[in-house]
Structure 1
Amino acid sequence: MSALVIGTRGSALALWQANAVASALREAHEGLRVEVRTVTTTGDRVLDRPLADIGDKGLFTKELEDLLLDGAVDLCVHSMKDLPSQLPAGCALVGMLPRADVRDALVCGPRMQGARSLADVPAGARIGTGSARRAAQLLAVNSQAVPTPMRGNVDTRLRKAAGPDYEGAILAAAGLTRLGLQNRIAALIPVDQMIPAPGQGAVGVEARAGDERVQSLVDAVRDRRTEACVNAERRILAALDGGCQAPLGAFIRFEDADDGAAADAERFLALDAAVLSADGAQCVRARLRRACGGDADAGALALDLAQEAIELLLKGGARQLLRPCADQGGAR
């Protein structure tokens, strides 16, 4: 059998993710040969402009998907928060690995070493982020902070955060942990202060639609719970965002019954979603929690929760908050 070829971006974090998929596949399928091929995407090449200025669809995925459709690779591995809600014709999302920590993390430079929360960020402190979602939620908690555009891979952003142009930065906790850089985390930001991007912390596998060989191989390493939650989060993204990289967060997760409940007590699916104005002054939220009978019901229930959240957000004025984003762009 020919080797299975995985396509990925070439950053350290992207390679970690691709190798995690490769290792899981090798462990599940004895004798399977897996190769990893790297490619540079538009989002990797163009680092001197905000993402919104170079487009908002497929900046970190298009070149990989072109290789996939041309048959040069058998599957692509993505950070799910970078994967557009609408995939190109001929491509399909075929699985996800178990999700890591979804939270965002505050990283402090030498002039902000005492900060242990967003509230501790001093007035005028420049906090690096390329994400409109992070910037808006930072301002909602601390209006005296100064979100400042920042691009680059994890190492680049950490270096910038320690330099003269920033006092700190906000990055995904999962990426820092995967690269063994958790010692750089000054604070893990609670979800009730900063709702993650749809799919944050999840690694996804994309293949050619109808490729039964790849699907059967990936089936052995898929995490259905992660997929149920992330697919529903992406439903919210598709309905409200539609490709504009907006100040929008959505997070769905399983929760156990309350402490002290019987061991066989029912579990729950919980949802938090928010759409914000760019300055964080306006926010529409949806918070929902429903009993979940079992994993077999989780996918449908998560989508039902997503639809209910969409209706609540729209009723609360989310469309009006997103309109400036549609005109100007911005990154999640």
Structure 2
Amino acid sequence: MATTQSQAVADRLTALTGHRVRLAGVTTLGDVSRAHLTQLGGTGVFVNELRSRLIGGEIDFAVHSLKDLPTRQDEQVVIAAIPPRDDPRDALVGTAKFSDLAPGARVGTGSPRRVAQLRMLRPDLEYVAIRGNADTRIGKVTSGELDAVVLAAAGLGRIGREAEISQVFEIDEMLPAPGQGALAVECRADRHDLIELLGVLDDPETRAAVTAERSVLAALEAGCAAPVGAFASGDGHILSLTAAVVAVDGLRSVRTSTSGPTPAAMDLGRELAAAMIAEGAGTLMGEQAH
């Protein structure tokens, strides 16, 4: 998937600027380990090796799934572009739609955020922690080991496996991870030539939306392994933002919405996070940490 999305960005850059791009594959700990995401350290596990190569000058720019990026920006690198977002929603690949799965059916996902929200919808199912790429996860359904798996709809689309989706969860059913469906193109902060070149890929509306979502995450001091969902959308002038923190047992949650001017996206996220903390969101995340 990483290769596919990187190639798509490279092709778009070539089409817009005429610059040829050569891909350089980098394997990260997050790619090869089968440990649970929380055991690996959560945020940054998929990006640290790429950033190391970037800072060292071995590569000119890196393409990340934005939801994998730490919210605290490394001063040595900059997000030069956030291309138009793909489908931000979560998708089920399984033997039936979610509501039609038999009680006790086994559903696989490596995301505490997904498990928490799925338990709110169907506490009668068994949720199994899994790791591996999309092909490996889907294979567990094909083999009968699991009845279903939950993956990002955008990722399935990028690898051409959207036909295997049995259901897409609507935003009001399951809030996606902050930044889900979006890509981030990073380069060194001192490469002003690259910042200008890569800027042609940037989509201002997507950048505003994910800035608000990630601002919630940063203000909550949560990583990508925390049970935090957030989604923002707008018309270029007004941004609407919804976020939730859900207890891992699915029994309690704090869900809040707000809206405001698009240029104030970061402040919007911070203010929403403060309101969530006032309603007890920090307690729910503390339980996840333990």
Same fold (TM over 0.5): yes
Aligned pair count reads 290
What residue in structure 1 maps to residue 123 of structure 2? 143
What residue in structure 2 maps to residue 40 of structure 1? 27
Deviations 1:184-210 (A, max 9, x none): 100110111100000000011111113
What residue in structure 2 maps to residue 19 of structure 1? 7
What residue in structure 1 maps to residue 162 of structure 2? 182
Secondary structure in 2 aligned to 1:273?
Answer: strand
Equivalent pair of 1:68/1:208 in contact (CA under 8 Å) = yes
State which of 136, 141, 147 in structure 2 corresponds to 1:156: 136
State which of 266, 279, 283 in structure 1 corresponds to 2:249: 279
State which of 70, 84, 102 in structure 2 corresponds to 1:98: 84
Write the distance in 1 (CA, Å) between the matches of 2:258 and 2:241: 5
Which residue identity does 1:325 align to in structure 2? Q
What residue in structure 1 maps to residue 48 of structure 2? 62
Write the distance in 2 (CA, Å) between the matches of 1:142 and 1:232: 29
Shift of the alpha carbon at 1:247? 0.4
What residue in structure 2 maps to residue 121 of structure 1? 101
Shift of the alpha carbon at 1:219? 1.1
The alignment's TM-score, normalised by the length of structure 2, stands at: 0.95
State which of 17, 29, 42 in structure 1 corresponds to 2:17: 29
Write the distance in 1 (CA, Å) between the matches of 2:82 and 2:194: 13
Structure 2 residue 87 is matched with structure 1 residue 107: no
Mean Cα deviation higher: 124-133 or 83-92: 83-92
Structure 2 residue 283 is matched with structure 1 residue 317: no
Which residue identity does 1:45 align to in structure 2? V
Extract unaligned runs of 5+ from structure 1: 1-12, 256-265, 293-297, 328-332
The alignment's TM-score, normalised by the length of structure 1, stands at: 0.84
Which residue identity does 1:101 align to in structure 2? D
Extract unaligned runs of 5+ from structure 2: none
Query: Alignment RMSD, CA only?
Result: 1.5
State which of 101, 110, 114 in structure 2 corresponds to 1:130: 110
Write the distance in 2 (CA, Å) between the matches of 1:77 and 1:299: 25
Equivalent pair of 1:69/1:208 in contact (CA under 8 Å) = yes
What residue in structure 1 maps to residue 263 of structure 2? 299
What residue in structure 2 maps to residue 9 of structure 1? none
Deviations 1:257-304 (A, max 9, x none): xxxxxxxxx9642111000100110000012234x5xxxxx232x223
Mean Cα deviation higher: 127-136 or 81-90: 81-90
Amino-acid identity (%) = 40
Structure 2 residue 203 is matched with structure 1 residue 223: yes
Equivalent pair of 1:133/1:249 in contact (CA under 8 Å) = yes
State which of 191, 204, 207 in structure 1 corresponds to 2:187: 207
What residue in structure 1 maps to residue 58 of structure 2? 72
Write the distance in 1 (CA, Å) between the matches of 2:209 and 2:228: 16
Shift of the alpha carbon at 1:222? 0.8
Shift of the alpha carbon at 1:244? 6.4
Write the distance in 1 (CA, Å) between the matches of 2:287 and 2:17: 49
Which residue identity does 2:219 align to in structure 1? A
Which residue identity does 1:16 align to in structure 2? T
Which residue identity does 2:101 align to in structure 1? V
